[in-house]
Chain A
Amino acid sequence: MEFSRRETLAMGLGAAMVTVLPFRVSAAADDRIAAFTGGAEMAEGGVTLNAPEIAENGNTVPISVEAPGATAILVLAAGNPEPGVATFNFGPGAAQQAASTRIRLAGTQDVVAVAKLADGSFAKASATVKVTIGGCGG
């Protein structure tokens, strides 16, 4: 049996797969959070982060954040080589303190949102987004 070069190169499951293990929260992400909060404690609750459990496409993952009364929300992709995604600032006239965007994830990792609330306190939420080869659905 003969195989053409093209056939041999035709790749099977997810040739673009780059990651084996979930990416850990990097020191860079911790530094970003510390810079945003000034090292203050962060409460759980008060900020809502919506992200898919499994990314349909790791190159463009839709996420949204909401924190009623917040003046700013920091969003990080904790496992990306460069974890910074965005900081959304809300002026006093903002009708709602919510934002949505799409982010690129290098692999399975936590997406983190930290909100600075009107009273100067901070709240945090995180969600694990899995980036997978897929391909074996029942």
Chain B
Amino acid sequence: MISRRDFLQVSMAASAMVGASGFGNWARLAAQQSLTQDQLLEFDTFGNISLIHVTDIHGQLKPIYFREPSVNLGVGENKGHVPHITGADFRKVYGIADGSPSAYALTYNDFSALAKAYGRVGGLDRVSTIINAIRADRPDALLLDGGDTWHGSYTCHHTQGQDMVNVMNALKPDAMTFHWEFTLGSGRVNEIVEGLPFAALGQNIFDSEWDEPAELFKPYKFFERGGANVAVIGQAFPYMPIANPRWMFPEYSFGIRDENMQMMVDEVRAAGADLVVVLSHNGFDVDKKMAGKVQGIDVILSGHTHDALPEPVLVGKTHIIASGSNGKFVSRVDLDVRDGQLMGLRHKLIPVFSDVIAPDPAVAQLIEAERAPYKTQLEEVIGQTDTLLYRRGNFNGTWDDLICDALLSEREADIAMSPGVRWGPSLVPGDDITREEIWNVTSMSYGEAYRSEMTGEFIKVILEDVADNIFNPDPYYQQGGDMVRIGGMGYRIDITKPQGERISEMTLLKTGEAIDPAKSYVVAGWASVNEGTEGPMIWDVVEDHIRKLGTVTLDPNNSVQVAGA
């Protein structure tokens, strides 16, 4: 249905203009001249329906850097398949030239050099320009937000999500589903959702007491577009009460509930849906499995695992679209729907190069208004970095290395733990670290940095448990995060083994001694899902640490040995 040629025509034209050589020396201006907004937006309007997908923005109103992972391992049937390939392998699969804009947007290599050439990505004012351009082609295009929108920044935290709500409302979405939004607490989520001027969807959002569909969130909504009936079904993150603090939203229950999904698909088909779209926060591998089990879904707009794929993945008759994170990409999906059937699809993953795409002035003004009350706090420079700071990767990233260092030193601990979340932009060497950047990688409603004693045995239990949440060969048992990051301790992991047998050779780095199962160690961490966790806020711990360092320089982290990849 979608040919490689189609894709090359619409998406790769931009790379061809820039070529493969000399990227390290380019000035920003050069990139700007050789890459134009028209090229990024170029799209041969197709069929009778357009979908616009944004997801996992994580509070990022302004342009940022975002380095994609170098390590993103698949297990079981997903081993070696997208999105579980990275770097040169990824570029080879999609025919992307080294050093090209697509290479910068989609892979990690030479990130710092390419970042200097191509600049920052994202910014909701730029996203707005893209949406406006698509709406100029197709005025009734559906804008669908996959969630993780009202979380992830200083202003989002201090306004309890209101900054994101206000700016997103200006973009006029048609529907949304949810994950981190619920960590605002159910009272606040309910308050916002009750006032939303668009549909809040989740067929798997249930009332926890009665195990019945929650009243406030509808399973689906119908839209009449291009002479066809389009049903959009929502799928919220299935494991919210497990991956995030259940006590913050005790009235709600989630789960994958694929039997109910099938019932909803059958129900909308019976009611005359010509096209069935699932707006999902399942994560990519869960969506793939669900597409194989639930019959009758035409398109899944996939979120949660932050994968950005330049082509749809086809499972049976279901096209799965992955649109990245942090405002870095917008997906446009044009569909030809006739006689109650999807006849064709054309797709483009549009990278939001912030120096190439002009900001929408009205939205830019709105963003500045949201930020104005916090300007001084946001912009305060805490230190500088000589090291590329990024988060993504299955086992570690330099941001979490820095956060773990902060926990070890500020909290006087033997071992540090930082959660394997996938949000948080990057900084390139030479950048200032402002308070805003620290909050971009730490802000949450349960940021207390705990300090406690744990036995070696219990630390292994934690590692085994988290490892199974990412490396269980059945995607339905995966929660879609990365491995908990560990400071002060090394270990070996065999990702092919069952739970209880993956982790070995746990070593306390400061002494080089093996971890003793019976001995207690002082462990500092943050983002506990337990109610009543006490300690200073993680952003303050990290800020204190960076202030003392002045300039951050990190050594390469080789403390995790991975087998079975």
Q: Which residues of A contact B (CB under 8 A)?
A: 1, 3, 6-15, 17, 20-22, 50, 52-57, 62, 100, 108, 128, 130, 132-138
Tell me whether B240 and A137 are in contact (CB under 8 A).
yes
Complex contact A13–B417 (CB within 8 A): yes
Our pick among A3, A6, A7, A138 for the contact of B480 (Cβ within 8 Å) is: A138
- Chain B min CB distance to A96 (Å): 16
Cβ-defined contact, A137 with B237, below 8 A:
yes
Please determine whether A54 and B535 come into contact, CB atoms closer than 8 angstroms. no
CA gap between A46 and B549 in the complex, in Å: 65
**Contact A21–B480 (Cβ < 8 Å):** no
Q: Which of A13, A21, A62 touches B211 (beta carbons < 8 Å)?
A: A62
Of B4-12, B264-272, B458-466, which binds chain A? Answer: B458-466
Residues of B within 8 A of A133 (CB): 461-462, 465-466
How far apart sit A108 and B241, CA to CA, in the bound complex (Å)?
A: 17
- Nearest-neighbour CB distance to chain A for B283, whole angstroms, equals 7
19 contacts between A and B (CB under 8 A): A7-B535, A8-B451, A8-B452, A10-B450, A14-B465, A17-B461, A21-B500, A22-B499, A22-B500, A54-B239, A130-B468, A132-B242, A135-B243, A135-B466, A135-B529, A137-B421, A137-B479, A138-B306, A138-B421
Min Cβ gap A118→B in Å is 25
B254 to A: closest C-beta gap in Å: 7
Question: Could you give, for residues 266-310 of chain B, a 1 whenever the CB lies within 8 Å of some chain A CB and a 0 otherwise?
Answer: 000000000000000001000000000000000000001110000
A13-B462, A56-B246 known; A134+B411 contact, CB < 8 A? no
Contact of A53 with B256 in the complex, beta carbons under 8 Å: yes
**Closest beta carbon of chain A to B294's beta carbon, Å:** 15
Main secondary structure, interface of A, reads loop
**Cβ-defined partner of A137 (8 Å) among B239, B483, B525, B532:** B239
A13 touches B525 (CB 8 A): yes
The answer on a CB contact under 8 Å between B419 and A53 is no
Report how far A137 CA is from B306 CA in the complex, Å.
12
Does B66 touch A at the CB level, under 8 Å? no
**CA–CA, A42 to B299, complex, Å?**
39
From 454 to 502 in chain B, residues with beta carbon under 8 angstroms from any chain A beta carbon are: 454, 458, 460-462, 464-466, 468-469, 474, 476-477, 479-484, 499-500
Residues of A within 8 A of B239 (CB): 54, 134, 137
Please indicate the chain B residues that have their CB under 8 angstroms from the CB of A1 in the complex: 410-412
Q: How far is the CA of A57 from the CA of B480 in the complex (A)?
A: 19
Known A136-B419, A138-B423: A14·B462 in contact at CB below 8 Å: yes
Q: Known: A136-B420, A138-B306. Contact between A13 and B242, CB under 8 A? A: no
CB neighbours of B464 from chain A (8 A): 20
B259 at the A interface (CB under 8 A): yes
Q: A21-B499, A54-B242 are in contact. Are A10 and B533 (CB under 8 A)?
A: yes
Question: How far is it, in angstroms, between the C-alpha of A8 and the C-alpha of B412 when the chains are bound?
Answer: 12
Asked if residues B417 and A137 are in contact (CB atoms below 8 Å), the reply is no
| Contacting pair B535 A17 (CB below 8 A) | no
Q: How many B residues touch A, CB cutoff 8 Å? A: 65
Chain A residues whose C-beta falls within 8 Å of the C-beta of B246 in the assembled complex? 56-57
Contact A138 B476 (CB under 8 A): no
Question: Which A residues are in CB contact (< 8 Å) with B423?
Answer: 138
Q: How distant is B74 from chain A, measured CB to nearest CB, in Å?
A: 15
- Chain B, residue nearest A2 (CB): B412
Residues of chain B at the chain A interface (Cβ within 8 Å): 179, 208, 211, 237, 239-244, 246, 253-256, 259, 283, 304-306, 410-412, 417, 419-423, 448, 450-454, 458, 460-462, 464-466, 468-469, 474, 476-477, 479-484, 499-500, 523, 525, 527-530, 532-535
Q: Which residue of B has the minimal Cβ distance to A129?
A: B477
Which of chain A's residues have a CB closer than 8 A to the CB of B243? 134-138
Q: How far is the CA of A53 from the CA of B422 in the complex (A)?
A: 23
Q: What is the CA–CA distance of A108 and B474 in the complex, to the nearest angstrom?
A: 15
Contact B481 A138 (CB under 8 A): yes
Instruction: Tell me how far the C-beta of B441 lies from the nearest C-beta in chain A, rounded to whole angstroms.
Output: 13
Once the chains are docked, how many angstroms separate the CA of A23 from the CA of B306?
33
**Chain B residues with CB under 8 A of A138:** 243, 283, 304-306, 420-423, 479-482
User: Of A10, A21, A56, which one neighbours B255 at CB under 8 angstroms?
Assistant: A56
Chain A residue numbers with a CB within 8 Å of B453 are 8
What residues of B have a CB within 8 angstroms of the CB of A13 in the complex? Answer: 417, 462, 484, 525, 528-530
Docked complex Cα distance between A50 and B469 (Å): 21
Q: How far is the CB of B90 from chain A (nearest CB, A)?
A: 19
- Give the residue name and chain of the B residue nearest to A16 (CB): B530
Contact A134 B469 (CB under 8 A): yes
- In the bound complex, CA of A130 to CA of B246 (Å): 16
* A3 and B255 contact, CB distance less than 8 A: no
Determine if B480 and A11 form an interchain contact, defined as CB atoms under 8 angstroms apart: no
> A19: nearest residue on chain B (CB-CB)?
B461
Known: A12-B454, A136-B466, A136-B484. A20 touches B461 (CB 8 A): yes
Q: Tell me which residues across on chain A come within 8 A of B411, comparing CB atoms.
A: 1
* Complex Cα–Cα for A137 and B256 (A): 15
Pair B477/A12 contact, Cβ less than 8 Å: no
Q: How far is the CA of A135 from the CA of B481 in the complex (A)?
A: 9
Evaluate contact between B468 and A132: CB separation under 8 angstroms. Answer: yes
Known contacts A10-B532, A13-B525, A13-B528; is-contact A52 B305 (Cβ 8 Å):
no
- CB-contact partner of B465 in A3, A6, A132, under 8 A: A132
